[in-house]
Chains A and B, each alone.
Chain A
């Protein structure tokens, strides 16, 4: 039997980076406060001491510059991990992330590939207002050539981050500030989680709930309430957003005949829009009710606690949506 260890999410991510830096001397990490400060959220704690300043590099507050620099370094043969203190800061570097990284391999006639991981907390945290709370996945998933990953737990976080570092394409690896302290038992031995594979995390029969990232945990809480009402949803964790594993989603919907999508980001042109449309394409004849979604309402993120809670998906909104859908 494989030995298990209890780790926090941040420790699982750190272990992934440590293992990959041991495996490949071309892997390094760069970002604001990743070194001396030990990481704004302590994901890189101790890594400067372990690896030295040539491989754990404190960057000035210049996301455009250091994100672009790392893309150039990747083109020249290195495998950078870029930490954004918040993915909201990636907007400053948008030209590099959008116009250079994902287009290079195709545009150069396969001459230059860009093996790089951009990682950091995405979406809302706790009352940080509009400019620190945006969920970026639907924006970036719109660009062919970018891989977008949003793991919900430490096990997937570690295995997917290792796969991301080994991948030869630009990967956006979306974490969540509120999840860094989440604890879970993971194997002490090395393992990988494949990119592009969703997972049924709770089996059920009455409907399929599809979600990703931290919202998977909210869905689990909602499902406990629903179970008490005699409703048994199946929960699919996308894990990777692009490439989207529609097969796993569709197989579940064909079984349950109903589908609800829960997304931390906004309604308009969100991941839920895409998943919902693909469910319609693949499962039209199997659906007993219109596909529903619970997303962030169409406002910039308010600061005040009750407003913040109401604009985000929450257990109450999910339960209400399911009951309406099933008429129960």
Chain B
């Protein structure tokens, strides 16, 4: 059972502050990157993770960086959490030669040695994650799992069903995470998915365990990923978990969000996961409001510096255009 105070105790001040810092880095990066987009420095599509930070931050804290991670096009946070720098990611958004993917991927395609992407097609990453889990089992690596993030919209794709069936059939060590932010672009989840409690409802059909968690609460998310990891390692079966969350921004930058009321978004923002964690830490006397503001400001500076770095970075030489279509 989730026990708030024991989770606080288990993590301790240093790690709690570190995770607050990570969430603030994500938030500030997203805010500045979106500003850069609106200034015309970033092109293509841009999907913000603002509002959902608690989930992936908790995942990395609980599971560590040595798992295989895979996510959708909403991939900025996961890359930051897995060690990509704000500078290299911003340079990628600016399309520069020293960007995270050499200026070839852009906003939807970030990578680290353990982040297999940023996938642009809804649900396209789910079989890939299943394959990473297959590789772990094939290579008899006992304590690692694959962690597959997807939105609620991906649940309607065939790739979801085929992957879950294969993973359950072959006992693959995979944690499938549905980040239910209630909107597949502008379509409400109720208009796209035939059941509520998505993970719990779907898991039954594959003979695996399904869970629902509050994705706005960092501490509950920590508890969730601890539990999911133990479940996969002890049962050798995959698990399916839904994290109920809200994105505060549109589906992408170009989405004005006319399908939901301003009041609704305002209300959601009252449940900001960063403010929630901040308040816990204030209550625990681990940080005060001024220190929080200073921390926030320092991370805003990291994001601003990243913009400057990106702007000063070189464009890819057109002479390199046709390089690396094939691996050596």
Contacts and interface: CB of A to CB of B under 8 A. Distances in A.
Contact of A109 (B105, B119, B138): B105
Which of B105, B113, B325 is the most central at the interface, judged by chain A CB atoms within 10 Å of its CB?
Answer: B325
A258 B101 CA distance: 46
B327 interface: yes
B202 to A, nearest CB: 15
A168 to B, nearest CB: 4
A105 interface: yes
B166 A66 contact: yes
Interface in A84-123: 95-96, 99-100, 104-115
A109 B101 contact: yes
B163 interface: yes
Given A72-B116, A75-B116, A105-B326, A65 B138 contact: no
B162 A65 contact: yes
A73 interface: yes
Contacts of B169: 60
Contacts of B326: 105, 145, 147, 168-169
B132 interface: yes
A311 to B, nearest CB: 32
Contact of A68 (B68, B120, B130): B130
A290 interface: no
Contacts of B124: 68, 95-96, 99-100
A106 B136 CA distance: 25
Given A78-B138, A99-B120, A112-B116, A72 B132 contact: yes
Interface residues of B, number: 43
Which of A68, A69, A78 is the most central at the interface, judged by chain B CB atoms within 10 Å of its CB?
Answer: A69
Contact of A73 (B103, B138, B159): B138
Nearest to B70: A72
Contacts of A104: 117
B127 interface: yes
Contact of B121 (A59, A99, A107, A169): A99
Interface in B128-178: 128-132, 134-136, 138-139, 146, 158-159, 162-163, 165-166, 169
B327 A169 contact: yes
A64 B101 CA distance: 26
A28 B138 contact: yes
Which of B103, B126, B134, B158 is the most central at the interface, judged by chain A CB atoms within 10 Å of its CB?
Answer: B134
B327 A65 contact: no
A62 interface: yes
A65 B121 contact: no
A76 interface: yes
B56 to A, nearest CB: 19
A97 to B, nearest CB: 11
A70 B131 CA distance: 6
Nearest to B105: A107
A105 to B, nearest CB: 5
Contacts of A54: 138
B324 A106 contact: yes
Contact of B166 (A65, A115, A169): A65
A89 to B, nearest CB: 13
A75 B146 CA distance: 12
Interface string A161-185: 0000000110000000000000000
A69 B325 CA distance: 22
Given A107-B104, A110-B324, A71 B128 contact: yes
Contact of B163 (A69, A112, A169): A69
Nearest to A113: B327
A316 interface: no
B148 to A, nearest CB: 10
A144 B325 CA distance: 7
Interface in B296-325: 324-325
A169 B136 CA distance: 21
A107 B104 CA distance: 5
A303 B218 CA distance: 61
Contacts of A65: 127, 130, 159, 162-163, 165-166
Interface string B88-103: 0000000000011111
A64 B163 CA distance: 9
Contacts of B130: 65, 68-69, 72
A128 B65 CA distance: 51
B40 interface: no
A187 interface: no
A68 B327 contact: no
Given A67-B127, A72-B129, 15 more contacts: A64-B162, A68-B128, A68-B159, A69-B131, A72-B131, A72-B134, A74-B131, A78-B134, A95-B121, A100-B124, A105-B327, A107-B104, A109-B102, A109-B111, A110-B102
Interface of B: 68, 70, 99-105, 109, 111, 113, 116-117, 119-121, 124, 126-132, 134-136, 138-139, 146, 158-159, 162-163, 165-166, 169, 324-328
19 contacts: A65-B163, A67-B127, A69-B131, A69-B163, A69-B166, A70-B131, A71-B131, A72-B70, A72-B127, A95-B121, A95-B124, A96-B159, A105-B327, A108-B105, A108-B111, A109-B101, A110-B327, A112-B111, A168-B327
Closest 8 pairs between A and B when the two form their complex, measured CB to CB: A72-B131, A68-B127, A65-B162, A76-B135, A109-B101, A72-B128, A109-B102, A113-B327
